[in-house]
Chain A
Amino acid sequence: MYSKGTKRKFSGSADTATDDKAMAASYSLQRQSLLDMSLIKLQLCHMLVEPNLCRSVLIANTVRQIQEEMTHDGSWQVVTEAFSSPSHGPSDRLVATEVLCRSPVLEQQGGGPKLYSVMGYNGCREEEVVTDKALCSVAVGDGAPALLLGTIGHCWDRAELRVAEVEAGVSEDSLSGSGDEEETRCREGTKLATGQVFGMFEIKNSPPGSDPALEELFSDVDASYYDLDTMLTGIQSTPKMGPYDLLDSLASSHGPTSNSTCRADLNELDHIMEIIVGS
């Protein structure tokens, strides 16, 4: 279905070029919707039962595969460049259900892309996936990519470092059955939730100018966001900031140039969040 399109034979007609373009556009739309679907699957975490690790790994591998292909195509690079410009600073929001306004890859390079924060391997439950076709079609129809960004990846890595310090004190026996396993696992859970999926999507060549800005942004971030309980039960229990709170705060913090576009997109995202959270 989503096979890497076979090369068409050059027939010499002028139509071939436009056909190729149409095929490529449709392929990239399909690929985009697959990426959106995969991110939603990873994100939906009604965390009553620990999610299926095998399923999460397979979905994350699929996302990584799409990301690699998009990097080769150059469509990934375009978006990260758009996002990393200094005028946009939504990366200070780090709570799980963060949603930002988005912009189409090819059309508008000024707006910030839409982000789905991902809970990582601790955050999935197989039965709860949204299968509503409307959800997927909204994503495709807008033609806008939903992307995880390197800057956010950095943020989660920081949390991971903090947790890793704690974990260093816990030793792991090769003989199981000791109580240490439980504790290690608890720390691992945090590690998973924070760094895992984001670490994969981290863009290696992060723009040089962003780091000092990030430092400044993180200086006042509430450390309790990295609390294990909050993260693991983020969506299930009442989060510190609800999704609608975020949308409101983001709408106000954006620059005037992208505001109108963002608001329209935010309304759609509102609708999507209703579907996800309301069910």
Chain B
Amino acid sequence: MQFAIKLKGQYVQIIVHFPTSVCLVGNCPGRNDFQWCFSQVKGAIDEDVAEADIISTVEFNYSGELLATGDKGGRVVIFQREQESKNRPHSRGEYNVYSTFQSHEPEFDYLKSLEIEEKINKIRWLPQQNAAHSLLSTNDKTIKLWKISERDKRAEGYNLKDEDGRLRDPFRITSLRVPVLMPMDLMVEASPRRIFANAHTYHINSISVNSDHETYLSADDLRINLWHLEITDRSFNIVDIKPANMEELTEVITAAECHPHQCNVFVYSSSKGTIRLCDMRAAALCDRQSKFFEEPEDPSSRSFFSEIISSISDVKFSHSGRYMMTRDYLSVKVWDLNMENRPVETYQVHEYLRSKLCSLYENDCIFDKFECCWNGSDSAIMTGSYNNFFRMFDRNTRRDITLEASRENSKPRAVLKPRKVSTGGKRKKDEISVDSLDFNKKILHTAWHPKENVIAVAATNNLYIFQDKIN
């Protein structure tokens, strides 16, 4: 804050400093003490998990009112947040089932004699343009645009058919009436409005809606296509890294995302730990990147597994569009888009696994693809780990916390206790040793509400929702 006063006939400039972090109600950039409480858990309690019930993607919509999950059985379940009731102003609304539908069915590729899984790989919401909600859901081969609309009225008093729906004999009609709209129980309908098929030879790993709200990209192992939301029979191929000779293939695309504000910019990550930023204005085929992000390898930690653990499993732009975050097997890195030679921040997720890489290679866990997400203000990031643990990092205070998604901590509004994995020889009380970790309980998918401190964590077939205590 600056102002000038007149002192002895001369103007003197006075500069007054106020503390820069101002605590706002709700999202507090300077706050460093989230207290996460259990809110809800969805899904079966059974120990026997049906393969089809395993959640494969979680995504909040733009307002946070809706939360969508996809599973291995090809189903999409959408939860809606209850409006805050006046009776309990301090407790936030719960998420309840809003709509469930079968998005994808298993298919069979007759040419290659292979099944095409119905597992939903990604769901991305479209910005809401009218009363209905729209989302894109994709399996390995086909992307579908679903429209979810509500119906809470129906017309009654038709002339040509009676209440049961049977047609009336026109000769029996003696008078005319105007049908009236009567309220009915809310019905939520999901209908597939577009089907974008036959464009991907390899398995689709990412879809991303562009900031122009007209186009979106879809990426498979070797190619990225750009679609128009209205046009299903063609797409533009914008990245193609397939070598002429497949024997020379050493690198695949692992994730891709559109920039949140610049509709001509997108990034894609690779299995070699590199990220390429491309500008669609530069060329029709963006094989040559505008920026190339790679951290030089530390020669002292080189091993046969170095490449595998450097493979990036997820890439996400910050909401501001200035940073991006990548997840590899052991760490999360935050990159400044203006600096290509190294990340600005690196967070270790589970460094204690570095000495176990051989076993993790043997049981294939080393190929697990963990996702990561930002909070609404880009001040914190979250990612999953094993044993149903998930990790959160505060970028301002550099503090981190490990929490567990389990039914044992599922008393309403119970504060989650931080967890710790013991790495040394002595195991303290309440710590868990590395060898006791359950590698079948992996948290691959998490999502953070776009505006509030509410998080959704998918643990195999259960969806946990946690809220910050202040909320």
Contact = CB atoms under 8 A, between A and B. Distances in A.
Contacts of B435: none
A223 interface: no
B249 to A, nearest CB: 6
B254 interface: yes
Given A1-B355, A2-B303, A175-B237, A57 B225 contact: no
Interface residues of A, number: 52
B378 interface: no
Interface size range on B against A: 35 or more
Interface in A10-62: 31, 34, 37, 41, 47-50, 52-55, 57-58, 60-62
Interface stretch (A97-105, A141-149, A195-203, A254-262): A195-203
Nearest to A176: B199
A49 B117 contact: yes
B112 A50 contact: yes
A105 B203 CA distance: 40
- The dominant DSSP class at the A interface is helix
A55 B115 CA distance: 18
Contacts of B65: none
Nearest to A237: B113
Interface string B127-154: 0000000000000100000000000000
Interface stretch (B32-40, B180-188, B304-312): B304-312
Interface stretch (B338-346, B362-370, B446-454): B362-370
A270 interface: no
Contacts of B237: 174-176
A62 B114 contact: no
A131 B362 CA distance: 6
A121 interface: yes
Nearest to B140: A50
Interface string B272-313: 000000000000010000000000000001111101100100
A182 B111 contact: yes
Nearest to A64: B250
A58 B246 contact: no
B234 A177 contact: yes
Nearest to A228: B112
A109 interface: no
Interface string B155-199: 000000000000000000000000000000000000000000011
A175 B203 CA distance: 18
B304 A66 contact: yes
A61 B233 CA distance: 36
B201 interface: yes
B364 A57 contact: no
A193 B254 CA distance: 22
B252 A57 contact: yes
Given A2-B304, A2-B358, A3-B303, A177 B247 contact: no
Contact of A58 (B233, B307, B355): B307
Given A37-B362, A60-B250, 18 more contacts: A1-B357, A2-B358, A31-B304, A37-B361, A49-B116, A52-B203, A54-B252, A54-B367, A57-B250, A58-B308, A62-B308, A65-B304, A127-B364, A175-B236, A175-B237, A176-B198, A177-B198, A232-B112
Interface of B: 109, 111-117, 140, 198-203, 221-223, 225, 233-237, 240, 245-247, 249-252, 254, 271, 285, 301-305, 307-308, 311, 355, 357-358, 361-364, 367
20 contacts: A1-B303, A1-B355, A1-B358, A2-B303, A2-B304, A34-B361, A50-B109, A50-B114, A50-B203, A52-B203, A57-B250, A58-B307, A58-B367, A61-B250, A62-B305, A176-B237, A177-B198, A181-B198, A189-B112, A200-B247
